[in-house]
Structure 1
């Protein structure tokens, strides 16, 4: 009996020693690796790296080399600095590497074990901006593109910032005149409470109390520059870039742990490439969609992983699991992806497993579906029906051309441009909540608003799965002198 207990004790001690041993990569049978491969870790580092503002001011450039331990459960521990750059960059490097906890652990004799590793993080100042204590300056070409060479710049935008690099005062746009810069416009900075609507994270409340930092044109009231939304503790919710009231470039959304949740990259063809991560740093999915995509055929699914690291969709084929909102409830959608599009039978269920809808797809197009609302069911052939002007786009074009009256003031000043008007098409087809989101000139904006308001009653409402819904609609209206 004693011999048996002694043997068990030795085995237990041996297992404990093995569990605590930290191996080198050459001492294991299979080395630890990031889920999805090294490129996905590098993508995570790139999108999450935040150059400390004082390091930007000093134009710091260099590397931080870190060591750490990849645990058997795929998390990272014991991160240490092997090569320092400067304290603030070192802290940022440790934050970055500590935020990525999506590793396939090392294996030895078929068992996951602890493995030591090293990783290098590079810091480089932003080329297209110049940072100084209390101010951030961005240079632009004549065409309005960001450039890094001040000597070639025609415009510069100087924004007062705090020690974190967040705006805290009115930005000033200046234009070059020889060797001098002359102020052309002072934008208006505002910091105010904001209720952030949660549309993509079922683990969070539907609405989140936050703070929004906005920069607006003082005349046209359109958003310009980088717009931040912040959680109550100051952690960013989103970082959006606006030009004359329209989102441009890259949009970034964050988890409340400070890591990036989603990045939207605007492509040259007008589409958006969307990367989404889990809170542990693992990539969740990669897709390409049309801007403001609503219909399934407007979205292309490229890759998707579950939280355990299993790849569900690869090269546009597989079985996908998506979270979305239906009738103000979170549902999980499941179905096949073929050649980047929904295919075959898709179903949506509540968290408790109750069936919400079942639809049939071919090459991303919904052929038919049935949705369940309590004891009622609704059959439909189009899952997403966007609002439409009666008479279609051709009818809308005819209506605008016949009803727009060019403001004399704008015509005399030879003012031309495209006004973007936002409004909501309600369930009964009526319009409300009008807003100019991209301005040209006050008189032109007012005419655009007038003609849109006059179209009230000429629209058919949108619907989702057989039920009419309120839909926000953005309408561009061109003003061109003949």
Structure 2
């Protein structure tokens, strides 16, 4: 896999962002990074968006103590579609501990985790196939996924089959031609069990569709794998699943 090209292009892209920033917008976010009203008093993070005169975008994230912890830089083509994106996260001391580079045109990505300036995990993905290494207590282990993040035991194809067999389009929603994407937030605990289950975008999707998405995830019995920390210990974390309800011409609905 050729990751030098997307990495280099994203690096060059990022160097021009701050030079020509023209507009800024501040957005308040909940714990799932979903926009909410500042008047609610429930926000956990703040995002400041800067857009260059070329239309490229930089998003800077701050916690409640106004400490920066994440930056996302995105370059778009003339049609407004993403070309490249770089995400970086920082610890409380300001040191880089995570980087995610995406080359949308080539459908490739590179995920890197750092500890004390040393790379402890590197994962390259191209067209859905991933491979990389994770350094654990002096041993280098081959991996095919981000081991720091929780996942479903089901593969993508098995999950899609599960949805096809169990997810229903609510009749009232179908009659009213309701469509939308329901984003579910699943808290996966250290033992792999499901903790909290939340709708991440409650204001962006119809209630009937939210209820159906919740019903289906609650009957899923495929299990989950928790993420781990740098020492290899299981940790709790959030896992996000989008479920799309779309009425098609030849089928009642599409799921994805």
Q: Is the 8 A contact 1:254 1:262 kept in 2?
A: no
Structure with more contact order per residue of length (Cα contacts < 8 Å, sep ≥ 6): 2
Q: Is the 8 A contact 1:417 1:480 kept in 2?
A: yes
Judged with a 3 Å threshold, the aligned counterparts in structure 2 of structure 1 residues 240 and 427 are, in CA distance, closer, same or farther, namely: farther
Q: Is the 8 A contact 1:263 1:274 kept in 2?
A: yes
Give the total of aligned pairs.
196
Q: Is the 8 A contact 2:60 2:68 kept in 1?
A: no
1:252 to 27, 42, 60: 60
Instruction: Please state how far the C-alpha of 1:189 moved relative to its aligned partner.
Output: 5.5
* RMSD over equivalenced CA pairs, Å: 4.6
Judged with a 3 Å threshold, the aligned counterparts in structure 2 of structure 1 residues 434 and 250 are, in CA distance, closer, same or farther, namely: farther
Q: Quick check: which has more Rg, 1 or 2?
A: 1
TM-score by length of 2: 0.56
Q: Is the 8 A contact 2:151 2:239 kept in 1?
A: no
Q: Is the 8 A contact 2:152 2:225 kept in 1?
A: yes
Instruction: Please state how far the C-alpha of 1:46 moved relative to its aligned partner.
Output: 3.4
Encode CA deviations 1:319-362: one digit per residue, 9 max, x unaligned: xxx8x5xxxxxx3133xxxxxxxxxxx5x6xxxxxxxxxx7989
TM-score by length of 1: 0.33
Match of 1:471 in 2: 237
Match of 2:73 in 1: 264
Q: Does 1:433 align with 2:196?
A: yes
Q: 3-state DSSP class of the match of 2:39?
A: strand
Q: Does 1:190 align with 2:55?
A: no
Encode CA deviations 1:65-102: one digit per residue, 9 max, x unaligned: xxxxxxxxxxxxxxxxxxxxxxxxxxxxxxxxxxxxxx
Judged with a 3 Å threshold, the aligned counterparts in structure 2 of structure 1 residues 298 and 391 are, in CA distance, closer, same or farther, namely: same
Paired with 1:362 and 1:263, the residues of 2 have a C-alpha distance of 19
Encode CA deviations 1:188-226: one digit per residue, 9 max, x unaligned: 662416555xxxxxxxxxxxxxxxxxxxxxxxxxxxxxx
Q: Does 1:416 align with 2:179?
A: yes
- The residue correspondences of 1:293-372 to structure 2 (distance < 5 A) are 298-299=109-110, 324=114, 331-334=115-118, 346=119, 365-367=131-133, 369-371=135-137
Judged with a 3 Å threshold, the aligned counterparts in structure 2 of structure 1 residues 290 and 452 are, in CA distance, closer, same or farther, namely: farther
Paired with 1:362 and 1:444, the residues of 2 have a C-alpha distance of 35
- The residue correspondences of 1:216-295 to structure 2 (distance < 5 A) are 229=46, 238-239=47-48, 250-253=58-61, 262-265=71-74, 267=76, 268-269=81-82, 271-274=84-87, 289-290=101-102
Judged with a 3 Å threshold, the aligned counterparts in structure 2 of structure 1 residues 421 and 46 are, in CA distance, closer, same or farther, namely: same
Unaligned runs of 5+ in 1: 1-38, 52-164, 168-186, 197-228, 230-237, 242-248, 278-283, 292-296, 302-321, 325-330, 335-345, 349-358, 373-377
Judged with a 3 Å threshold, the aligned counterparts in structure 2 of structure 1 residues 270 and 443 are, in CA distance, closer, same or farther, namely: farther
Q: 3-state DSSP class of the match of 2:208?
A: helix
Instruction: Please state how far the C-alpha of 1:253 moved relative to its aligned partner.
Output: 3.5
Q: Is the 8 A contact 1:425 1:432 kept in 2?
A: yes
Paired with 2:70 and 2:142, the residues of 1 have a C-alpha distance of 34
Instruction: Please state how far the C-alpha of 1:258 moved relative to its aligned partner.
Output: 10
1:381 to 127, 142, 151: 142
Paired with 2:228 and 2:117, the residues of 1 have a C-alpha distance of 19
Instruction: Please state how far the C-alpha of 1:450 moved relative to its aligned partner.
Output: 1.4
Q: 3-state DSSP class of the match of 2:213?
A: helix
Q: Is the 8 A contact 1:253 1:262 kept in 2?
A: yes
Q: Does 1:46 align with 2:45?
A: no
Instruction: Please state how far the C-alpha of 1:444 moved relative to its aligned partner.
Output: 0.7
